Structure 1
C-alpha cells in the first residue's frame, strides 16, 4: 500500500491565483497598519485557499510483478553440426535451473530455426518478436544461445531494455573447409568459354594443407578429378557441352575433423544458348517450295543461312557461255569438305545426284553426321529415282530407303502413335488452324508422298497415305538425321486449306537435331519454384518406373509420377530443405539445386560473436563461451556491468500492477470552514482588546 497527495481545485487555477494575490495584498495592508492579528488572518487565508485547492490523499494497492528473462535458442542449420545441439541443450537446462532458483523471476524461451528460403539465421528478428510479446518494464535480461553466426544484424531492436548476454557454442579446435565458386553467369553462349573463379578456403584451426582434390561433374555425369591449392583463387575456363540448362557440380572430399561437408560442394547452373544457328540449305532445283524454305530460315534472326542451289544443271544445254553465268565460282569444296563441320544443320531440299557434288563430298557429310552433325532431307519425286541421294554414300546414314513409288494425291499428314509421345511432334495438333475432327488434325492437305521403308532404328512420328511413313527420325553415331518423305510441306506455310505448323515443326526438328535437352525423347528434368519442384519425365516407353530422389544429406525418397499426356509424366514434390538433389530412374538421371548447394548457413561455420559485439557491449552484457563452463546468473543494478568471470547479470525491474486506488480528502469542507472562521474570530477578538 502506497499513498500520495493530489490536488483537485474547486475553482480554476487562475481564480485561485487571483484570490491568493488578494489575500497577500490584504495581509500586507494589515501588517502596514500594525494589526496584531495578521498572523491569524494569514492562517485563515491559507485554510480557505487550501480548501479551494481540494487536497486529497490517493492510496494505491499494488501487486508485485515478476521479472522476465528472454532466452532465444538458435536451432538453425549451423547449430546442428558437431556437438552444438548438446551444448545448446545443456546451456538451456542450466539457465532454466538458475532462473528457477531466483525469486519472482520467469524465463521465456523462444526457439529459432532456419529462415525461409536461404535467409540464414534471423536472430535479431526473433529477439524483436520475443520483446514485442512482453512488457518492456518487466524484462530483466536477454540471453542468446547461439554460435554467433547471424544474418540480420540491421534488424536488431533500436533500444534494448536490459543486458543482452550471449552463450556461445562451439570449440576452439573447430575447423571447416569450404568450396566457393564465383563469377558464374546465368547464361553463356555455346562455343565460348566461361571463366569461373574457384577457391577452397580453410576456416578456424585447420591443419596445414597445400592442395586438395577437386572433382567436377556436369549434369550428373562421371566426375573429373583435379588438384588445386588451398586458400587461393583459381581461374577455371569451361565450355558448355550443350544448349539448355547445364548443371555443374564441384566437390572436395570430406577431411577428418572438419565440422560439416555441406559446404564442400557447390553447384552452378548455366543456361547454354547458341549465338547463331548455322544452316546450309542445299536445293536440288528451283521449285515452288524452295523460297518457302529460304524465307522460313531467313525470318529467324538467330539463323545464319548459306543457300547452295543448283540453278543450271549440267544436262541443261542453252548455249550460254560458262564465264557469263556468274562472276565468281561457288566455294563448293570449301563448304562440303573443309568447313562442313562448322554448320549446325544441313538441309537437302529435293536434291538428286547430278555429278555437281562428287561422292567424296557426300561421304564427308556422312562422316559429319557420325561425328555429331545433323542432316534433314526434304524428299521430292527424285528421291524415288535411280539418281536419289539415297543411292550416294550419304544413304548409309539416312533413316528410310525409297521403294520407287510416289503417290500423287491429296492426304492430310497424321501424327503416329509414337509421334504422340515424341517431343518433335507431341501436341503439334494444337497448332492446327482448325479443330481436330475424328482424330484428323485440322490442317491443310499435301499432294505428294514418296513411299519409303524406314530403317529398323528409325522413329516414324508422322504418317501419310495409307499410314505410310512420312517423317522419320534417327540417331546415327553421335549425330541425328531426319527424312520428310514429301516436298509439299511448303503448302502449310502458304496457307493452303488453312495451312499448318510448318514453322513450329521445323523449329522442333532443328532443336532436336541440335540435341537441346527439352526435346530429348528420354529426359528427366526438374522445374524448381522455391522448395517445390515439378518433376517431369518424358519417354517413348509406356512405363518408366519410379523416380528416386537423393537428398542433400544422402537420404532417399521414392516417388511415382502421374501421366499428364502421352509420353509425359509429372509430379509436384515439396523438398524439405535447400541443397543439391539427384533424381534418377532406370534410364535417366538429373541433378537440381534448390537454393545454393551450400546454404548461407554454411558460409561461416566457426562460432564467433564478433558480428554483434558492439550490440552486446552497448547493453553492458557480454559473451560467455560455453566450452569454458556454464555461467551463473546474478542480479546487478541498472547501468552496472552485467558480465564477469563465470557469471552473467540481469537487472531486477521491481515492476508492479495497481490492484486498487482510493482517494480521500485531507480535510472535510465543513472542517476547513470552521477552522477558517475560528481563526478570523480569533484575529478580531485580539485586535478588539487592544
Structure 2
C-alpha cells in the first residue's frame, strides 16, 4: 500500500495562482492598515485557494512484478562448428538456472535459427521481436550466447537494460577461407577475364605463407597451383565454351581447421561471342537481298560482310572497265586467306558463273567440315545446270535439287520434327501466314532434318551436320514476302535469326541439351530433345549422393522438372549422354564467411548501457544487481538492473477539503475576522 496527495484543480493553475496573489495582496493591505483580523483573513484566503485545487489523499494497492531477463541462444549454422552446440546448450541451461534462482526474476529463453535463404544470423531481429512482446519497463537484462557473427547489426534496437555477450568457440580456433572479390556475369569467348581471389587465415592459424589452389570448369579435372596467403591474386580465365560456365575454386582443408565450408567458391559466368562474323554473298540483286541484310544488320552482335555480284564476267555491255566504280570481288582474300574468320557464310541465290573457282568452293567445304557453317537460300538457279550444288559443295549441302521448280502459291508449314527443333519450335499461327510463290524441289540427305515443308509437302527448310560444322538449305527465295507483309506476312525475323544462330552454334539453340536454372536452393531442370521421350535425370549432390528425377513434357521436345537442393554447392546432372553442372547458392554461405568467434561487431551495442563480453570457456560469470547507468560488467561478473515494476490493483481517494469543510472553515475565519475588527 502506498499513499500520496494529488490535486484535481477546478481552474487552470495560472488562474489559481492569480487568485492566490490577490488574496495575499488584500491581506498585506489589511496588515499595512493595522487591521487586527489580517491573520484570520489570511487563513480564509488560504482555505478558499486550497479548495480550488481539490486536494485528495490517494492510496494505491500495488502488486510487485517480476523482472524479465532475455536469454537469446544462437543456433545458426556457424554455431554447429566444433563443440559449439554442446557448449552453448550447457551454458544456456546453467545461466537460466542462475537467473531463475534470483528472487522476483523470470527468464525468457529464445532460440535464434538461421535466417531465410542466405540471410545469415539475425540476432538483432530476434531481439527486436522479443522486446516487442515484453513490457520494456520489466526487462532487467539481455544475454546473448553466440559466436558474435551476426548479419543484421543495423537492426539493433534501443536497449532498455544492459546487454551481455557470452562467446562460444575457443582461443585456439582458426579457419582458412577463399574469397572471390570480383566475378562478372558475362565474358567474351576467346578473351581472358581477370578474377581477383584471396585466401585468408583467421584466428590462431599456423604460420604458412602459401597453399594450393585447385581450379575446375564444369566439374572437370582440376588444375592445381601454389598461391600466397593473405594477398590478392589476379587470375586470368578464358572460358572454354559459350553458355553457362561453372568454375569452382577450392583450397585443401588444413589440419585442425574449424571448417572447410568456406574453402570453396563457385563462379558462374555466361560465355558470349564478341562479334559474330557473317559473310553474305548475293549472286544477283533481288528483293530478298535486303531481307537478309536488314536481318543481320539489326543484330548488334553480328559483323556483316556483304557482297552482291552486279556484273558477272560474261556480261558484255561495252562499258570500259576503267570507267566502272564497282568494287572487285575479293575472292582470294575471302575464300582462301580469311575464310576461317567467319562464323557463317550465306549464299543467297548464288550460282556458278566463274567468279569462285572450284578450289575456292572446295575450301568452303573444308571450312564446314572443320566447324564452319554454310546457309544456302535457293532460287531457280539452284535447280539449273549452273547450280551451286554442281560443285564441291555438294558433299556438304543437306539436300539435292531435282531440277524442278514449283511456281505456285503455298503456305510454309512446320513439320512434326520442326515443332521440337529449337529453330522452328513455337512458330505458331501457320494458318495465318502469308504465301510464298516459288520453291525448288529437293531430295534431303539421309542424315538431314526437314523442319518445314512447302508446296506439295516438299521439303522447304533442311538442316544437317557435316563433320564439325553445319549446313542449311532454304529451298526458296521468297522469304522476303513475309518481311513485306504479303497476305499478313509471317515470322521471318524469328525464323531467320534462329536459323543463323543455330548455325553459329549458339548454346540456347542446340537440339539436344540439358541445363538447369537456379533460384536460391531450387533448380528447374530442362531437357530439350528431338526424341519422343527422355529418361530420368540423375542428380549428384555436392556430398556425392545421387537422386533421380523424372521429367514431364511441357511442350513438344521440352521436358522439365523442379528440384530442391538439400545443401548449397555444385550439383551434376546427367541424362543419357547429356551432362550439365549447376551451383545452388553460394559455395560458402554467409554463415561461413567468417567463423572465428568475436565480439568486435557487437561492442558498440554492448557499450551503450555498459554491458560486457566474455568467453564461455573461461567460465560463466556471476550475476549481480546494478543500478541504472552504473557499469554492468566486470571481471568475472555481469549485472542486471532490477526494474521494481508493479501492477496497481486498486486506487482509493479521500478528499482533504470536502465542500462542507471548506464552507465551515472559510465562513468561520471570515466571521472571526469581522467580529475581531468590529469589536475593536
TM norm structure 1? 0.88
Verify the 8 A CA contact 1:454 1:472 in the aligned structure 2.
no
State yes or no: 1:451 paired with 2:442: yes
Q: How big is the shift at 1:323?
A: 5.5
Q: Which residue of 2 aligns with 1:645?
A: 635
Secondary structure of the equivalent of 1:346? strand
Show CA shifts across 1:499-551 (max 9, x none).
33222211001111222221111223334455554432211122222334455
Secondary structure of the equivalent of 2:367? helix
Bigger mean CA offset, 339-348 vs 174-183: 174-183
Structure 1's 558 and 663: CA in aligned 2 closer, same or farther, altered over 3 A?
Answer: farther
1:501-516 alignment runs, 5 A limit: 501-516=491-506
Separation of aligned partners in 2, 1:318 and 1:667: 132
Separation of aligned partners in 2, 1:330 and 1:682: 136
Verify the 8 A CA contact 1:580 1:596 in the aligned structure 2.
no
Q: Which residue of 1 aligns with 2:258?
A: 259
Q: Which residue of 2 aligns with 1:143?
A: 143
Bigger mean CA offset, 171-180 vs 395-404: 395-404
Separation of aligned partners in 2, 1:255 and 1:366: 56
Secondary structure of the equivalent of 1:610? coil
State yes or no: 1:569 paired with 2:559: yes
Separation of aligned partners in 1, 2:203 and 2:407: 80
Bigger mean CA offset, 491-500 vs 514-523: 491-500
Separation of aligned partners in 2, 1:686 and 1:465: 137
Bigger mean CA offset, 81-90 vs 504-513: 81-90
Structure 1's 27 and 513: CA in aligned 2 closer, same or farther, altered over 3 A?
Answer: same
Q: How big is the shift at 1:30?
A: 5.7
Secondary structure of the equivalent of 2:602? helix
Verify the 8 A CA contact 2:168 2:616 in the aligned structure 1.
yes
Structure 1's 44 and 302: CA in aligned 2 closer, same or farther, altered over 3 A?
Answer: closer
Secondary structure of the equivalent of 2:603? helix
Bigger mean CA offset, 339-348 vs 571-580: 571-580
Separation of aligned partners in 2, 1:296 and 1:218: 35
1:120-139 alignment runs, 5 A limit: 120-139=120-139
Secondary structure of the equivalent of 1:506? helix
Q: Which residue of 1 aligns with 2:191?
A: 192
Q: How big is the shift at 1:40?
A: 6.8
Q: Which residue of 2 aligns with 1:303?
A: 302
Q: Which residue of 1 aligns with 2:610?
A: 620
Show CA shifts across 1:114-171 (max 9, x none).
33444333322322222222111111001112211122323222x3111110111222
State yes or no: 1:472 paired with 2:450: no
Structure 1's 121 and 326: CA in aligned 2 closer, same or farther, altered over 3 A?
Answer: same
1:295-334 alignment runs, 5 A limit: 295-316=294-315, 329-334=328-333
1:42-191 alignment runs, 5 A limit: 50=50, 53-157=53-157, 159-191=158-190
Structure 1's 477 and 689: CA in aligned 2 closer, same or farther, altered over 3 A?
Answer: same
Q: How big is the shift at 1:306?
A: 1.8
1:219-234 alignment runs, 5 A limit: 219-234=218-233
Q: Which residue of 1 aligns with 2:600?
A: 610
Structure 1's 27 and 505: CA in aligned 2 closer, same or farther, altered over 3 A?
Answer: closer
Show CA shifts across 1:211-256 (max 9, x none).
3333333344444443333222222223334444443333333334
Structure 1's 687 and 487: CA in aligned 2 closer, same or farther, altered over 3 A?
Answer: closer
RMSD over equivalenced CA pairs, Å: 3.4
Q: How big is the shift at 1:623?
A: 0.7
Verify the 8 A CA contact 2:405 2:438 in the aligned structure 1.
no
Verify the 8 A CA contact 1:27 1:42 in the aligned structure 2.
no
Structure 1's 396 and 226: CA in aligned 2 closer, same or farther, altered over 3 A?
Answer: farther
Q: How big is the shift at 1:48?
A: 5.9
Structure 1 runs (4+) greater than 6 angstroms displaced: 37-41, 675-690
Q: How big is the shift at 1:348?
A: 1.8
Query: How many residues are treated as equivalent by the alignment?
Result: 679
Verify the 8 A CA contact 1:16 1:52 in the aligned structure 2.
no
Separation of aligned partners in 2, 1:473 and 1:265: 43
Separation of aligned partners in 2, 1:324 and 1:118: 73
Secondary structure of the equivalent of 2:428? helix
Q: Which residue of 2 aligns with 1:559?
A: 549
Separation of aligned partners in 1, 2:25 and 2:561: 95
Structure 1's 313 and 66: CA in aligned 2 closer, same or farther, altered over 3 A?
Answer: same
1:34-49 alignment runs, 5 A limit: 35=36
Secondary structure of the equivalent of 1:289? helix
Structure 1's 383 and 445: CA in aligned 2 closer, same or farther, altered over 3 A?
Answer: closer
Structure 1's 175 and 388: CA in aligned 2 closer, same or farther, altered over 3 A?
Answer: farther
State yes or no: 1:338 paired with 2:337: yes
Structure 1 portions without partners, runs of 5+: 436-441
Separation of aligned partners in 2, 1:11 and 1:232: 78
Structure 2 portions without partners, runs of 5+: none
Separation of aligned partners in 1, 2:671 and 2:260: 100
Q: 1:542 aligns with which of 532, 541, 551?
A: 532
Show CA shifts across 1:51-86 (max 9, x none).
554432100000111111112232333233333222
Q: Which residue of 2 aligns with 1:364?
A: 363
Separation of aligned partners in 2, 1:382 and 1:12: 110
Separation of aligned partners in 2, 1:594 and 1:259: 23
Bigger mean CA offset, 487-496 vs 514-523: 487-496
Q: Which residue of 1 aligns with 2:210?
A: 211
Q: How big is the shift at 1:280?
A: 0.8
Q: Which residue of 1 aligns with 2:652?
A: 662
Structure 1's 544 and 262: CA in aligned 2 closer, same or farther, altered over 3 A?
Answer: farther
Q: Which residue of 2 aligns with 1:439?
A: none
Separation of aligned partners in 1, 2:39 and 2:285: 135
Bigger mean CA offset, 588-597 vs 472-481: 588-597
Structure 1's 50 and 587: CA in aligned 2 closer, same or farther, altered over 3 A?
Answer: same
Separation of aligned partners in 2, 1:53 and 1:407: 114
Bigger mean CA offset, 259-268 vs 96-105: 259-268
Q: How big is the shift at 1:326?
A: 6.0
Separation of aligned partners in 1, 2:389 and 2:289: 20
Bigger mean CA offset, 187-196 vs 671-680: 671-680
Separation of aligned partners in 1, 2:466 and 2:605: 68
Secondary structure of the equivalent of 2:483? helix
Verify the 8 A CA contact 1:450 1:486 in the aligned structure 2.
no
Separation of aligned partners in 2, 1:54 and 1:504: 91
Secondary structure of the equivalent of 1:56? strand
Bigger mean CA offset, 237-246 vs 446-455: 237-246
Show CA shifts across 1:15-57 (max 9, x none).
576367536744774697484x876776666556555544321
State yes or no: 1:6 paired with 2:6: yes
Separation of aligned partners in 2, 1:497 and 1:40: 117
